[in-house]
Chains A and B, each alone.
Chain A
């Protein structure tokens, strides 16, 4: 039972790297507790900036700091970061090409009970449609840590979304990860997962189901694949941490060997992972695609797992939809 949320994994990496990299800077909008960044503020006060409840300021200040050589990690609840400060993300970060990492915390419906004001079911669509903005939804804490390591190696803008709650581990600690590649898991055997460039696609069985998932939906997708495999249906899961740039090659290679493609995401049915995958499939290798997502409506009130269960966004629900459409 893992009790370390992905946001804490981010803090741990930044704490470690900041011992030698004094340009790493963390900015919060009265959100250091929710972001799990209080230990960073305590350990590196001179590399921490509190801007108060002012998300527009948060992003613009981060961009200005990046212009002066800092490496800002800018934390705020995804619901506010992706919409309240959307224009700052577009103009000051993406358009001005500043080295800012926007970290949307408590993403998706993490705050299930708190209502639509606190849900970010549009952030993938919003951020992905900004030129020069990359979008990442890591699945478990180990992948999250690898992603942060990788982001520290380049100077390009990005938006990351993580959830509030701990996610059960999918991978071993030394998980397979290559930046901007999907991780491929066959028949739910995550211990044998490979980055897409390591795959010999020809060895995949024909007539598979492919499930493309990101963020917190990856683990239920892997469990669904296990259910399907037990029933004799080979299933590939693409853990699409890199929603943008999307790993198109992995999608096409899996789809060519699949009868059915499912997408699963904690997002609106419009403009997210499902839309992007459908575009690729439609253009490159037409197949039946089913998009599993949140409804185009305020979601039902409840803790996030109960809400996922309600909408069939769990292992059983994904497997059931897969079988019905196979």
Chain B
């Protein structure tokens, strides 16, 4: 597990390079969600470039599609496409590495970008897989700002109604969105209770701790009568150090050359601490 913790900082470096090279991206959410994606892709999900045609593979939808840089970095690390290619081509003219997930790329099941779509889509996947008697699992990651979309709650409602225990939704609860604090923009007071009231099993954990995330995902697998939502408390910009952590202005800020060096040094330091 130590290696994966180091890897999550290494992959943040890939994100940083992608954003510096392209001059755009959503770095704050990329850094908060990275550990969730690493846990899913390296420890939890049965998914690889070799099994993408297997109907029994696990399924993932990146509902917070603007964190696509983190998603690309993890998919590249899993071998779906070369890391160097995505760093060089991300968001460039005519590139297939678009600024939101696109399922013409290997490894990506569904297009996203408009918020509030991932959970209802995953409800459909979970229903279909259950109809066919499959034992695979369906995962989605949402942002906490995204929870203001009404369609998210339609998804929670249907997931609970149909007792979709093969479905696991993760909320990247970094408490910041583009305009500021989620609690100021549109509060999520009693979020755990709200989701539980839709007949979901809810786990609250540290979303920047891969070990704790894996515990939560393992617990979810043992819940057999309802879907699970993991409220993953994260830090926006996690790993970037004081200059970017917990700052809403880093939602889609592109670092200056000086900031780049500072963040890179911090990521390297944290990575070496885990090695």
Contacts and interface: CB of A to CB of B under 8 A. Distances in A.
B155 A96 contact: no
Contacts of A25: 128, 131
Tell me what chain B mostly uses at the interface: helix, strand, loop, or mixed.
helix
A256 interface: no
B200 to A, nearest CB: 15
B117 A91 contact: yes
A180 B29 CA distance: 45
Interface in B186-242: none
A52 B59 CA distance: 25
A56 B120 contact: yes
B111 A60 contact: no
- Name the residue in A47, A88, A96 with the highest tally of chain B Cβ atoms < 10 Å from its Cβ: A96
Contacts of A61: 120-121, 123-124, 127, 158
Interface residues of A, number: 28
Contact of B110 (A49, A65, A69, A96): A96
A64 interface: yes
B184 interface: no
A142 B107 CA distance: 42
B129 A68 contact: yes
B120 A64 contact: yes
Contacts of A66: 124
A158 interface: no
Contact of B114 (A49, A62, A91): A91
Interface residues of B, number: 31
A54 B116 CA distance: 13
Given A54-B158, A56-B154, A70-B131, A87 B125 contact: no
Interface string B92-127: 000000000001000001111110110011111111
Contacts of A63: 110, 121, 124
Nearest to B110: A96
A92 B103 CA distance: 11
Contacts of B132: 68-69
Given A60-B117, A70-B131, A96 B111 contact: yes
A57 interface: yes
A46 B55 CA distance: 19
Contacts of B123: 57, 60-61, 64
Interface string B147-180: 0001100110110010000000000000000000
- Name the residue in B61, B121, B122, B123 with the highest tally of chain A Cβ atoms < 10 Å from its Cβ: B121
A284 B123 CA distance: 47
13 contacts: A52-B161, A56-B154, A57-B157, A65-B124, A67-B59, A67-B109, A68-B55, A68-B128, A70-B128, A87-B117, A91-B111, A91-B113, A97-B103
